[in-house]
Amino acid sequence: MQHRSFWLDSSDGVPLYVNHWHAPGEPKAVVMLAHGMAEHSGRYARLGEALVGAGFELYALDHRGHGQTAQHGLLGHFADENGWNHVVGDLSTLNHHIRHQRPQTPIILLGHSMGSFVTTAYLMHHSSSVQGAILSGSNYAKPGTYRAAALVARLERWRQGATGRSALIERLSFGAFNKAFEPARTPFDWLSRDSKEVDRYIADPLCGFRCTNQLWLDLLEGLQRITPPASLKQIAPQLPILIIGGDQDPVSQGGGLQRLADALSGAGHTRTTLKRYSQARHELLNELNRDEVTRDLIDWLEQTLAQPQQRPSPPQEPNL
């Protein structure tokens, strides 16, 4: 396996840090990854190694305000304006880059947690640019739920400013996630049953930081856009979509994964698969059963590629 990292200019000139795990020769497919909030793409090296060993490649960028990309901005902050569209558009920029490198190779988009929501927004505009999608650690709720949360974010932005970092928002989100595991060893027990992985997350200076009020507002407004049935109908109905998550993941609030699968089905999507893992928490790829999850991902990729596929779209300029 080989690994390289490089900088990729976004559509508005912000440099994006990209990790690429690959091997010599043509891969079966390229997996393009969108990571979660308050983490970074470098945490997916183990997945990259497994994918390369099975004949695939992995490209994973650091979102704006995350990982190494935050060197050209502010850690925990997408942008002062239009942050959600910028982050979604960055996936288009990466897809455009990959398509130039691999014109005929299928691309599968994998989004975890916050990245799963960014992935859904991307699919609304660019379904034809990928040949499948995986949504990990995701959720689905009615837009009104997100409108109420966005009101809190607006009030905190008014009180602290756009780049303020609200303890209240953190307590209502990550703090609430950990309640199910009290008495908890750490504030991040909700991530995984594997204490070594939780400790590794805590020790990483690019993980677990408090995001800005503006980022929270960008995310919550983005969630309001992607949840209406009319929005989900914009995704190509024949696109293979795999939804995965742990049944103890507080992000999906028990029934969130099923609600997501049902919403996609109700919007006319005919190739949606739901896989839940017993006792697993939020980060399936860092869970005690991560080898099982990785095998299942690779099996789904193989099965998806074995089915009739739409031809990869020619490279197009990134847009929303």
Pairing of β 15-22 and β 57-61? antiparallel
The pLDDT value recorded for residue 199 is 98
Dihedral of CA 253/259/264/265: which sign? positive
The pLDDT value recorded for residue 174 is 86
Give the H or E element holding residue 133: strand 132-136
d(C-alpha 44, C-alpha 34), whole Å: 10
Dihedral of CA 69/5/286/282: which sign? positive
The pLDDT value recorded for residue 228 is 95
The conformational region for residue 204 under phi > 0 = left, psi -120 to 50 = alpha, else beta, is: beta
CA angle 290, 28, 3 (to 5 degrees): 65
Q: Which of 75, 216, 205, 198 is nearest to 151 (CA)?
A: 216
SS3 category, 103 = coil
Residue type for position 55? G
d(C-alpha 273, C-alpha 54), whole Å: 21
Per residue of the chain (320 residues), what is the pLDDT tens digit? 899 999 999 999 999 999 999 999 999 999 999 999 999 999 999 999 999 999 999 999 999 999 999 999 999 999 999 999 999 999 999 999 999 999 999 999 999 999 999 999 999 999 999 999 999 999 999 888 899 999 999 999 999 999 999 999 999 888 889 998 999 999 999 999 999 999 999 999 999 999 999 999 999 999 999 999 999 999 999 999 999 999 999 999 779 999 999 999 999 999 999 999 999 999 999 999 999 999 999 999 999 999 876 655 555 554 44
Helices (H) and strands (E) in the chain, counts: 11, 8
Helix segments in 103-228, DSSP class H: 114-126, 143-160, 167-170, 176-178, 195-203, 213-226
Whole-model pTM: value is 0.95
d(C-alpha 104, C-alpha 145), whole Å: 41
In the chain, where are the structural domains located? 2-140+230-306
Cβ neighbours of residue 285 under 8 Å, at least 6 residues apart? 44, 46, 47, 112, 136, 293, 294
The pLDDT value recorded for residue 184 is 93
Superfamily grouping for domain 2-140+230-306: Alpha/Beta hydrolase fold, catalytic domain (3.40.50.1820)
Q: Which residue has the tokens 């910028």?
A: 86
Cβ neighbours of residue 119 under 8 Å, at least 6 residues apart? 34, 91, 109, 110, 111, 133, 135
The pLDDT value recorded for residue 318 is 47
